[in-house]
């Protein structure tokens, strides 16, 4: 598949500087690009590598001095790269219809052009809106709904009472609406607290593989519009996550915690129960959040502290062995001085 640079420029609202008549057959990274391909530079630190690229076109914010090639000038090269991937590799369109092996309950509502794959189970009262795709082996529990243009990949489990918005993507192995971890200790035993609520996943959310989102005890666990989950994330019951947040792999959020909008939790962050994290907070990898964090903070560590302070503490930690040696040496010298003073005092008293 070849696409003209003029068409690409038009799609990206870009400006061509150089040969406008090029036909491009794909895109690649700076290191791997060859003749006939387009690459991109999104950060000045990659400009040196760009001077060695074999790509026919380099997509940047501005012309790179010392590089003799055709440039496509765009506002945001990385975002434009994402759009180009879709242009060169358009999503595969599946034939609408319900596979013969699907198990269908009663009182279903199926929109137009839905795809229901092999061995799918739709329980009573399920709604699948138009253009949604339900992959092989998916289970959708009673009364749940999936919005328009959503894609549910194979072997996802969506239990009863789950509401999924439009253009949501859920990857294989994820479980939405499992029971929250709630038990009352009485009489020497842990007694299960019924989890009677549901889960609401708003529009444009993407959920990675093997993610678990627990239903609420009462009310709803809520995932806000445009939020993105990496693989292996755990969300407890009654958690509320705001819009356009990012949760990286192996994040765990305990029950009833609240995240604001545009929050980023880096890999392996743990959040204790009933904690509030404000808008635009960034929490560094492997941090443990045990208390509320105000908006617009960047923190790291356990317990979290301002990220710059945490970096200084890590530097100091590396210096501990040498500091220990220095302290021991100073103690030795102080002991010698004290002994010397005692001897001098005794000599004076004896004189």
Residue 104 forms beta bridges with which residues?
Answer: 122
Helix (H) or strand (E) holding 122: strand 121-122
* Angle made by CA atoms 41, 45, 46, in degrees to the nearest 5: 40
Q: Which of 211, 203, 251, 250 is nearest to 227 (CA)?
A: 203
84-106 pLDDT, tens digit per residue, is: 999 999 888 899 999 999 999 99
Position 147 scores a pLDDT of 98
Name 222's Cβ contacts closer than 8 Å, sequence gap at least 6.
199, 200, 202, 239, 240, 241
Residues of the chain with confidence (pLDDT) below 70:
none
Residue labelled with tokens 């269908």: 104
Q: Hey, what are 28's tokens? A: 């690649």
Residue labelled with tokens 């055709």: 70
Residue labelled with tokens 């945490």: 310
Name 308's Cβ contacts closer than 8 Å, sequence gap at least 6.
none
Position 102 scores a pLDDT of 98
Residue 13 forms beta bridges with which residues?
Answer: none
Q: Do residues 283 and 301 make contact, with C-beta atoms less than 8 angstroms apart?
A: no
Q: Do residues 175 and 212 make contact, with C-beta atoms less than 8 angstroms apart?
A: yes
Position 316 scores a pLDDT of 80
Main-chain dihedrals φ then ψ at residue 98, nearest 5 degrees: -110, 120
Pairing of strands 183-186, 220-223: unpaired
What DSSP line would sit under 279-308, residue for residue? TT-EE-TT-EE-S-B-TT-EEETTTTEEHH
CATH 3.40.1390.10 fits 3-88, yes or no: yes
pTM for this predicted structure: 0.88
What DSSP line would sit under 152-215, residue for residue? E-TT-EE-TTEEE-TT-EE-TT-EEEEPP--EEEETTEEEEPP---EEEE-TT-EE-TT-EEEP
Position 345 scores a pLDDT of 85
Report, as residue numbers or ranges, the catalytic residues: 237
Helix boundaries (H) for the chain: 5-12, 47-50, 77-88, 307-318, 320-350
Please give the C-alpha separations between residue 156 and each of 207, 233, 255, 314, in angstroms, as whole numbers. Answer: 11, 15, 22, 41
Tell me the CATH number of domain 97-308, given options 3.40.50.2300, 1.10.150.250, 3.20.20.70, 2.160.10.10: 2.160.10.10
3 state DSSP class of 169: strand
Q: Cα–chain-centroid distance for residue 332?
A: 53
220-257 pLDDT, tens digit per residue, is: 999 999 999 999 999 999 999 999 999 999 999 999 99
Looking from the CA of 113 toward its CB, the CA atoms found within 13 Å total: 8
Q: Which of 217, 219, 220 is nearest to 194 (CA)?
A: 217
């Amino acid at each position: 598949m070849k696409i003209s640079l003029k068409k690409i420029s038009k799609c990206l609202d870009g400006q061509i500087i150089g040969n406008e008549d090029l036909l491009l057959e794909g895109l690649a990274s700076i290191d791997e690009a060859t003749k006939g391909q387009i690459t991109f530079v999104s950060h000045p630190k990659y400009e040196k590598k760009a001077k060695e690229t074999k790509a026919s076109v380099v997509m940047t914010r501005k012309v790179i001095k010392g590089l003799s090639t055709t440039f496509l000038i765009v506002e945001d090269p990385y975002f434009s790269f994402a759009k180009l991937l879709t242009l060169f590799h358009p999503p595969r369109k599946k034939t609408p219809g319900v596979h013969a092996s699907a198990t269908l309950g009663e009182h279903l509502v199926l929109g137009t052009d839905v795809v229901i794959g092999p061995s799918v189970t739709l329980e009573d009262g399920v709604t699948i809106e138009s253009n949604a795709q339900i992959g092989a082996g998916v289970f959708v529990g009673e009364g749940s709904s999936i919005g328009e243009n959503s894609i549910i990949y194979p072997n996802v489990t969506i239990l009863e009472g789950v509401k999924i918005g439009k253009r949501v993507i859920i990857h294989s192995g994820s479980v939405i609406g499992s029971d929250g971890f709630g038990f009352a200790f009485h009489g020497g035993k842990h007694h299960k607290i019924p989890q009677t609520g549901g889960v609401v996943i708003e529009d444009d959310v993407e959920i990675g593989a093997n993610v678990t989102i627990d239903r609420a005890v009462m009310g709803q666990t809520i995932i806000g519009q445009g939020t993105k989950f990496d693989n292996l994330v755990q969300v407890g019951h009654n958690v509320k996550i705001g819009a356009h947040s990012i949760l990286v792999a192996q994040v765990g959020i305990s029950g009833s915690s609240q995240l604001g909008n545009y929050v980023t939790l880096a890999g392996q962050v743990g959040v204790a129960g009933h904690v509030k994290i404000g808008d635009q907070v960034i929490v560094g990898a492997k941090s443990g959040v045990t208390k509320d964090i105000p908006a617009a903070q960047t923190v790291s560590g356990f317990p979290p502290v301002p990220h710059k302070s945490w970096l200084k503490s890590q530097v100091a930690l590396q210096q501990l062995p040498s500091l220990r040696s220095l302290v021991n040496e100073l103690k030795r010298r102080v002991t010698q001085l004290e002994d010397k003073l005692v001897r001098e005092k005794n000599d004076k008293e004896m004189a």
